[in-house]
C-alpha cells in the first residue's frame, strides 16, 4: 500500500473512533450544562466579576454542543442590556473576542514570556462595565464547540444562524432572571453576514409567539463583511486615499476594470495587469491594520487574490490570524500576543477551570479556518433593509485603518439603503480628542468610524470603542 494512502486510511480510522467515543460519551451528559467560575489559572486571586461557562445542545438531536462564556454586567445585571457576541471568521473563537477585544481580561504582554502559563490582568475598558455579554463559540467546530456526529459539523450561514437562535431560546429558559433585559446581537468581521439573520430569526420567532419571548432591541457590527460588490471593490479606492497606490495606477485600474475588481473578465488583460500592480503595492501590508507590521509574511500571492471572492475570509484569513509559529522578534508584534492564547487555552489546568469536556476537542485554535462551512449569503444588505422597517436600532462601526473591509465599503452600503440623515457627519470626542466620525440615519442606524482602529477595532482602540459602545447602548449621542 502506498504510504500516502495508508496515512489517509489511518487518519480516517482515528477520526471515526473519535466520533464513536464522542457519541457514547455525550449520551451520558446533559444537553445543557453551566458552571460558575471563581478562579482562572494565570489570574491572581478570585475573579472580580461573575463568569459562567457552559454548553447548550442545538440541532435536531442536540448533537451540536455550543460552548459559551457568560459575563454579568459589573454595573446592574438585573437591568443592563444583554449582548450576544459572535466572533468572525467564520470559525474564530469567542475567547479571542473576550481576551483581545471587549472582555475584562487580557494577557500581561509587558512581561517577558518564558514558555509557562501566561499571566492574566484586568482591562480598564471592558464592555462588561455596562452590559452582560454571552461570548459564543459559533459555528460548530469553533473554539470549544463540537458535534457528537460527523454530520453535525456540516454547517453554513443559515444553519449556524438557526443554531444561534436555538441556543438563545434555550439559554434564556435557563436564565429567566434576564428575560426582560434589552438584548442586542453583536460581533465583527464575518459575523456581519450572520448577525442580521439571527436578529431576523429572533424577530420572526417573537412574531410567531414562540416562547420565551426574546426582548431583542437591535444589533452592533464592527467592520462587517456584508457584500463583495461593496467590500472588495472599495479596497482600491481606499488604498488610493491612504496613499498606498499612485494616482496613475488608480486612474488606469478604474478605466481598465470599469470599477469592478471582484469578478474580473479573464480576457480583460489590461485589468488583470493593473490588478497585479495593485496587489504588488499592498503585498507587504498588514491589511487588518495598515500601520502595524505584518509579522508573519503569509499573505497570498497577488495572482491568487484576483477573481471571484465569495468571502473576504477565503483570501485574507492569513493576514488576520497568522499560524502559531515562532514569532519574528519585532517591537510589539501583535501576532506574538495571539500566541499566548494558544498556550493558555491548551493548558490542562485552564481547561479544567473552564469545565471543558475532556476528549471533546483537540487543540484549541484561535481561528479554525478548515471548517466544512457553506458560504450561502452573498449579500446581507436586504436583511438590514428589512430590519430597518421593523424599527431595530443598529450601530455599525469601522476601524478606519482596516483595508480588509474598508470603512468606505460599509459607508457605501449604508447609503444604498436610502434613509435620510438625522445627525450629519461630525466628530465624536473621547477625553478631549477625536475618537472618530459618525452619522445617524432615520432608520435608527448609527455609522461610526474609529480613528486608528483596525479590522477588530476594540482590539486597537479599546478606550475609544468602549466610550462609543457605552454612549450608544445608553441611547446617548456619540
Question: What DSSP letter does each residue of 138-199 carry, written as one string?
Answer: -STTSTT-EESSTGGG-EEHHHHHHHHHHHHHHHHHH-GGGTTS-EEEEEETTHHHHHHHHH
Sign of CA dihedral 438, 473, 125, 457: negative
* CA angle in degrees (0–180, nearest 5) for 438-439-443: 135
Q: Is 189 assigned a catalytic role?
A: yes
For residue 100, is it left (φ>0), alpha (ψ between -120 and 50) or beta?
Answer: alpha
Q: What is the pLDDT of residue 332?
A: 63
Q: What is the pLDDT of residue 32?
A: 65
Among candidates 404, 411, 424, 413, which has minimal Cα distance to 384? 413
- For every residue of 339-370, DSSP letters joined together read HHHHHHHTSHHHHHHHTPPTTS-SS--SB-TT
Beta bridge partners of 92: 367
Domain boundaries, given as residue ranges, for the chain: 1-27, 31-229+333-478, 230-320
Return d(Cα 464, Cα 139) in angstroms, integer: 29
CATH of domain 31-229+333-478: 3.40.50.1820
Can you give the pLDDT at residue 274?
96
Ranges of H-type helices in 68-118:
94-97
What pLDDT does residue 337 have? 85
Choosing from 163, 240, 401, 455, the catalytic residue is 455
Query: Which of helix, strand or coil describes residue 267?
Result: coil
C-alpha cell at 331: 517591537
Q: Indicate if the alpha-carbon torsion angle 457, 459, 464, 469 is positive or negative.
A: positive
Q: What is the pLDDT of residue 323?
A: 43
Mark the ranges of the chain whose per-residue pLDDT is less than 50.
Answer: 1-30, 297-330
Residue keyed to cell 481561528: 367
Residue among 80, 188, 321, 402 flagged as catalytic: 402
Question: 175 catalytic, yes or no?
Answer: no
Q: Looking at residue 9, what is its pLDDT?
A: 40
DSSP-assigned letter for residue 367: B
Q: Which of 180, 202, 220 is nearest to 394 (CA)?
A: 220
Residue 431 backbone phi and psi in degrees, to 5 = 50, 45
402 is catalytic: yes
Nearest-angstrom CA–CA distance, 279 and 277: 6
The number of residues making up the chain comes to 478
Options 145, 189, 191, 380, the catalytic residue: 189
Tell me, what's the pLDDT at 116? 86
Cα separation, 278 vs 246, in Å, equals 10
Q: What is the pLDDT, as a whole number, of residue 263?
A: 84
DSSP symbol at 130: T
* pLDDT score recorded for residue 7: 39
Under 8 Å between Cβ of 164 and 140: no
pLDDT of residue 331: 56
Residue 163 confidence (pLDDT): 97
Amino acid at each position: 500500500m502506498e504510504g500516502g494512502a495508508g496515512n489517509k486510511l489511518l487518519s480516517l480510522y482515528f477520526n471515526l473512533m473519535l466520533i464513536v467515543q464522542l457519541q457514547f460519551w455525550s449520551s451520558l451528559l446533559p444537553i445543557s450544562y453551566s458552571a460558575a467560575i471563581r478562579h482562572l489559572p494565570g489570574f491572581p486571586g478570585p475573579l472580580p466579576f461573575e463568569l459562567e461557562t457552559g454548553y447548550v445542545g442545538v440541532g435536531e438531536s442536540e448533537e451540536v454542543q455550543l460552548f459559551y462564556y457568560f459575563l454579568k454586567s459589573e454595573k446592574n445585571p438585573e437591568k443592563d442590556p444583554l449582548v450576544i457576541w459572535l466572533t468572525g471568521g467564520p470559525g474564530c473563537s469567542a475567547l479571542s473576542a473576550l481576551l483581545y477585544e471587549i472582555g475584562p481580561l487580557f494577557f500581561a504582554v509587558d512581561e517577558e514570556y518564558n514558555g509557562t502559563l501566561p499571566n492574566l490582568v484586568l482591562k480598564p475598558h471592558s464592555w462588561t462595565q455596562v452590559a452582560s455579554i454571552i461570548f459564543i463559540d459559533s459555528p460548530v467546530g469553533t473554539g470549544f464547540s463540537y458535534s457528537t456526529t460527523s454530520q453535525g459539523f456540516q454547517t453554513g450561514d443559515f444553519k449556524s444562524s438557526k443554531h444561534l437562535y436555538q441556543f438563545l431560546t434555550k439559554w434564556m429558559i435557563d436564565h429567566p432572571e434576564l428575560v426582560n433585559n434589552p438584548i442586542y446581537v453583536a460581533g465583527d468581521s464575518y459575523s456581519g453576514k450572520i448577525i442580521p439573520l439571527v436578529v431576523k430569526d429572533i424577530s420572526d420567532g417573537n412574531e410567531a409567539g414562540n416562547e420565551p419571548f426574546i426582548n431583542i432591541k437591535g444589533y452592533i457590527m464592527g467592520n462587517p463583511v456584508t457584500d463583495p460588490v461593496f467590500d472588495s471593490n472599495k479596497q482600491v479606492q481606499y488604498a488610493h486615499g491612504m496613499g498606498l497606490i499612485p494616482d496613475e495606477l488608480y486612474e488606469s485600474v478604474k478605466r481598465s476594470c470599469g470599477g469592478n475588481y471582484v469578478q474580473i473578465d479573464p480576457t480583460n488583460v489590461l485589468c488583470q495587469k493593473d490588478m497585479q500592480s495593485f496587489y504588488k503595492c499592498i503585498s507587504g501590508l498588514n491589511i487588518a491594520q495598515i500601520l502595524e507590521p505584518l509579522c508573519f509574511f503569509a499573505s497570498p500571492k497577488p495572482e491568487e487574490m484576483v477573481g471571484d471572492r465569495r468571502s473576504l475570509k477565503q483570501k485574507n484569513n492569513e493576514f488576520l490570524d497568522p499560524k502559531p509559529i515562532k514569532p519574528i522578534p519585532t517591537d510589539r508584534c501583535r501576532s506574538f500576543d495571539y500566541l499566548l492564547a494558544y498556550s493558555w487555552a491548551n493548558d490542562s489546568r485552564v481547561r479544567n477551570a473552564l469545565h471543558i469536556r475532556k476528549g471533546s476537542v483537540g487543540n484549541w485554535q484561535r481561528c479554525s479556518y478548515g471548517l466544512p462551512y457553506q458560504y450561502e449569503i452573498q449579500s446581507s444588505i436586504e436583511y438590514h433593509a428589512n430590519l430597518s422597517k421593523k424599527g431595530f436600532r443598529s450601530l455599525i462601526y469601522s476601524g478606519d485603518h482596516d483595508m480588509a473591509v474598508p470603512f468606505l465599503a460599509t459607508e457605501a452600503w449604508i447609503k444604498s439603503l436610502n434613509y435620510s440623515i438625522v445627525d450629519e457627519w461630525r466628530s465624536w470626542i473621547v477625553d478631549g480628542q477625536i475618537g472618530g466620525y459618525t452619522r445617524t440615519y432615520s432608520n435608527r442606524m448609527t455609522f461610526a468610524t474609529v480613528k486608528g482602529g483596525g479590522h477588530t477595532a476594540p482590539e486597537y482602540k479599546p478606550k475609544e470603542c468602549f466610550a462609543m459602545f457605552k454612549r450608544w447602548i445608553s441611547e446617548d449621542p456619540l
